[in-house]
């Protein structure tokens, strides 16, 4: 067997070994095939079938070992050449090798950043990001993100002198639509690394690139990709502090309100708005009028939709539910003479029409959020105006139905399919903190029977939702002086107490095996 064949076989075995490699196994491999030999074969033996892919996979695993990573600084010229290779596989390997260098605990970030700067690798990583295939681009983003995790790396990515060949704003303006989306994806990834990286991005107005891409709306697919990036940004812990300094909220409001915008773009704008306004911290950084404007846009959109716009209608309800997760958001949804939450309450108990199931499900979960099911005990009750509107809207919904009372509405929800029941448990768990709701529930024995019966649900999530609802009702009942003092409620309290003690899951009585004696068949 010639050397190329031996190397191919050994590299394949090393690359696809099922376990993790130790330094000993890496040393043994390198003793047989030194790294210069492997690199030379990778650069010259193009005509050996399968050799490149085997060597790439082998080196990728080798550099992930402690021994392999410690060798990377000696072979930086190879990494530099690899970042410019014609082969996408080799470029991907080079990007991953940079990541391994930055992850190596034996090299300080300062040393790794110095090597990357010395060999001018950051511009090469940017080229891989823009012009490489998907795997190469992903590897480049990962390497640059790791580089940004240290101050020395931040200085490389965001140099003090603007306008150079690494200026992300200039690069984005000069590349293709795919390249722009990749640059924007890098901006979002860097933004999430740290507040210092986010601060640098904001000072360079790089977030404006996302806004500009959305405003142009030349390509729906590109715009959707940018919306996904904004959705990711909204999850970043320090995101709202910096996003509040942009015109993002005004932009989202205008998109939601625009009847000529593609419905899928309006839906994504509503989802991003809901995610941003679901955080209590958001309201510390934005003018409350921004939040009101977004809520008003969603409210207006719901008024203009009909049952044929099922997906957008459900998304709008879900967005209001997201906003209702925060106590400030829930308060705004229930404020004013015509609160936006009326759409949620109306849809939660509307059982008319073939398309009502998804709409009702979204509304019930939204009402659970708004009423405080997920909030801490001290943050469930809202201000006086919001609470008054919540009570009024629920009684109005009941009066317009055949159920006549909120308790009748609650019971009708709990008598539907499992998905609706689970959402109903969440809704009741939040609402029952209000004395008027507690009275409604305790006045309906059927509701108590359902939430106290462990056999009502058969799935784990259903059992836990029912049990949580049962606990919430019991806790509200025992803390209510008005209800607990009434002897007529003693039976309900005892029933709930017993149900709470049984736990969430159906405890079947143990059934002992019974012997069966049969007479013999005779012929």
pLDDT above 80: residue 481: no
Residue that wins the pLDDT comparison between 502 and 367:
367
Rounded Cα–Cα distance for residues 498 and 447 (Å) = 16
Flag whether 412 is in a domain.
yes
Rounded to the nearest 5°, which phi and psi values hold at 512? -75, 145
190 — phi, psi (to 5°)?
Answer: -65, -40
The pLDDT score that the predictor gives to residue 517 is 59
Question: CA separation (Å) from 340 to 302, 344, 388, 496?
Answer: 9, 8, 14, 35
Residue 122 maps to a domain: no
Q: What percent of the chain has pLDDT over 70?
A: 92
pLDDT at 523 over 50: no
Indicate the pLDDT class of residue 45, thresholds 50, 70 and 90.
confident
Cβ pair 376, 320 in contact under 8 A = no
Interhelix angle 356-371/418-431, rounded to 10 degrees, is: 20
Higher pLDDT pick, 22 / 392: 392
Residues 6+ apart with CB under 8 A from 288: 332
Provide the mean pLDDT of the chain: 87
CA trace torsion 128, 132, 135, 140 (10° rounding): 10
| Count of the separate structural domains present in the chain | 1
- Whether residue 144 has pLDDT greater than 80: yes
Q: Quick check: 361 and 419 in contact, CB under 8 A?
A: yes
For residue range 170-196, what is the model confidence (pLDDT) as tens digits? 888 888 888 999 999 999 999 998 888
Residue 261 pLDDT level (bands cut at 50, 70, 90): confident
Domain assignment present for 224: no
Asked if the structure places residue 426 within a domain, the reply is yes
- What's the pLDDT tens digit per position in 307-341? 667 889 999 999 999 999 999 999 999 999 999 99
Q: Would the pLDDT of 163 be above 70?
A: no
At 523, list the tokens: 């012929």
Rounded mean pLDDT, 290-305: 92
Judge whether 415 lies within some domain: yes
Give the range of the structural domain holding residue 412, as residue numbers without chain letter: 402-502
Residue 471 lies in a domain: yes
pLDDT digits (tens, 9 = 90+) for 269-287: 999 999 999 999 888 888 8
Whole-number pLDDT of residue 207: 87
Instruction: Please check whether residue 357 lies inside any domain of the structure.
Output: no
pLDDT at 246: 80
Q: For position 247, what pLDDT does the model report? A: 85
Reply yes or no on whether the pLDDT at 231 is more than 80: yes
Q: Give residue for tokens 């058969």.
A: 458
- Is 434 among the domain residues? yes
CA distances from 216 to 179, 211, 243, 256, 270 (A): 16, 9, 19, 16, 19
């Amino acid at each position: 067997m010639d050397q190329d064949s031996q190397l191919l076989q050994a590299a394949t075995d090393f690359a696809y070994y099922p376990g993790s490699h130790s330094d000993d196994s890496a040393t043994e491999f390198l003793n047989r095939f030194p790294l210069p030999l492997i690199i030379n074969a990778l650069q010259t033996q193009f005509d050996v079938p399968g050799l490149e892919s085997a060597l790439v996979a082998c080196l990728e695993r080798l550099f992930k070992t402690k021994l392999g990573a410690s060798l990377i600084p000696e072979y930086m010229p190879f990494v530099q050449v690899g970042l410019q290779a014609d082969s996408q596989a080799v470029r991907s390997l080079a990007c991953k090798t940079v990541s391994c260098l930055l992850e190596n605990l034996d090299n300080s970030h300062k040393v790794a950043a110095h090597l990357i700067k010395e060999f001018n690798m950051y511009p090469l990583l940017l080229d891989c990001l823009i012009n490489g295939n998907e795997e190469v681009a992903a590897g480049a983003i990962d390497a640059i993100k790791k580089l940004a995790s240290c101050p020395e790396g931040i200085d490389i990515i965001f140099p003090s002198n603007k306008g150079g060949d690494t200026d992300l704003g200039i690069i984005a303006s000069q590349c293709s639509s795919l390249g722009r989306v990749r640059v924007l994806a890098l901006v979002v990834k860097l933004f999430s690394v740290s507040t210092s990286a986010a601060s640098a991005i904001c000072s360079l107005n790089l977030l404006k690139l996302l806004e500009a891409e959305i405003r142009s709306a030349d390509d729906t697919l590109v715009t959707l990709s940018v919306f996904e990036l904004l959705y990711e940004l909204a999850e970043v812990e320090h995101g709202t502090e910096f996003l509040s300094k942009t015109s993002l909220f005004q932009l989202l409001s205008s998109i939601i309100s625009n009847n000529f915008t593609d419905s899928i773009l309006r839906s994504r704008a509503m989802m991003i708005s809901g995610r941003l306004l679901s955080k209590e911290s958001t309201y510390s950084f934005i003018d409350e009028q921004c939040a009101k404007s977004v809520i008003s846009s969603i409210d207006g959109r719901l008024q203009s939709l009909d049952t044929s716009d099922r997906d957008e209608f459900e998304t709008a309800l879900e967005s209001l539910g997201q906003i209702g997760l925060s106590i400030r958001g829930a308060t705004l949804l229930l404020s004013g003479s015509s609160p936006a939450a009326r759409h949620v309450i109306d849809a939660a108990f509307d059982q008319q029409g073939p398309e009502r199931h998804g709409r009702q499900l979204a509304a019930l979960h939204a009402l659970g959020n708004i009423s405080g099911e997920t909030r801490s005990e001290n943050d469930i009750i809202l201000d006086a105006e919001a609470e008054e509107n919540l009570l009024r809207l629920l009684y109005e919904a009941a009066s317009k139905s055949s159920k006549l009372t909120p308790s009748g509405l609650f019971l009708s929800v709990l008598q539907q399919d499992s998905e609706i029941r689970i959402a109903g448990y969440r809704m009741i768990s939040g609402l029952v903190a209000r004395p008027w709701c507690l009275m409604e529930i305790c006045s309906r024995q059927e509701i108590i029977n359902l939430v106290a019966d462990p056999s009502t649900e058969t799935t784990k999530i259903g059992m836990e939702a029912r049990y949580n609802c049962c606990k919430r009702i019991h806790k509200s009942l025992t803390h209510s002086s008005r209800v607990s003092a009434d002897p007529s409620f003693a039976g309900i309290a005892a029933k709930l107490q017993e149900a709470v003690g049984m736990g969430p899951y159906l405890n079947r009585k143990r059934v002992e095996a019974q012997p069966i004696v049969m007479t013999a068949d005779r012929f």
